[in-house]
Amino acid sequence: MDALVKDLRIALRMFVSQPALSAMAVFTLAMGIGANGAIFSFAKVTLLDALPYRDEARLVMVWQDYQRRGGPAREWFSYPNFVDYRTRSRTLEDMAVFSAESFVITGSGEPEAVAGERVSASFFDVLGARFVQGRGFRAEEELGGAPPVAVLSHRLWQKRFHGDPAIVGGGIEVDDRPYTVVGVLAPEFYPPFESDAELVLPLTVPPPEPNARRQVTLRAVGRMR
């Protein structure tokens, strides 16, 4: 319920800041994924003012639809279900998942709490993000044991690091853990529903466990073929 309220507040801000919002079309796609048997819903938002993403007309938000099994019509994803659907979908060119999270930047200077995201490595490619410095995440950077990396928003880069280009390839501390900064996003980019996100870290692939598919904590965005 808290997540729903948060989404509604963000949606209201989007209406106020972008009055050219014209329509929302919702359609559903039935697709079985092994024994999971989920149905997936897509919601497409058309804006007269372009969203800060490449070829935004092909982007859709994706949900799991469990109504036939007595569940909710719009359910977020677990990581295993995301992997299955991304692999088997014939409708989407690619797909990414993301989750809002708060972080504390420590190390040099005063500790600073910032809003952020954990995202799959495909996230920036799916949205067509542009970088003013560096790059996005690589697939291997999702794996446990990979060197921790981070991407900064343009706002955070200017505010805390004074626009220093040397920060890319350099280190920062997040929650008292060292990270290497690999990229700085263009000023117009923000993650869906999280316009205040300032720090982006890669999701870590969870270890296999019996209840992994029930951990539906990830939102999904896809790019239509």
Domain ranges, ordered by start, for the chain:
2-91+218-224, 98-202
> What per-residue confidence (pLDDT) applies to 187?
94
Q: Report the chain's C-alpha Rg in angstroms.
A: 18
**Does pLDDT of 8 surpass 80?**
no
> What per-residue confidence (pLDDT) applies to 17?
44
Q: How many residues does the chain have?
A: 225
> What per-residue confidence (pLDDT) applies to 191?
82
HSE-CB of 12 using CA atoms within 13 angstroms: 6
Residue with the larger pLDDT of the pair 19 and 218: 218
Instruction: List pLDDT tens digits, range 204-224.
Output: 877 677 677 777 879 999 999
CA 157 – CA 164 distance, rounded (Å): 7
Backbone torsion region of residue 150, taken as left when φ is above 0, otherwise alpha when ψ lies between -120 and 50, otherwise beta: beta
Mean pLDDT over 109-115 rounds to 92
Q: 12-21, 35-44, 115-124, 168-177: which range is least confident on average?
A: 12-21
Classify 17 as helix, strand or coil. helix
- Return the percentage of the chain with pLDDT > 90, whole number: 45
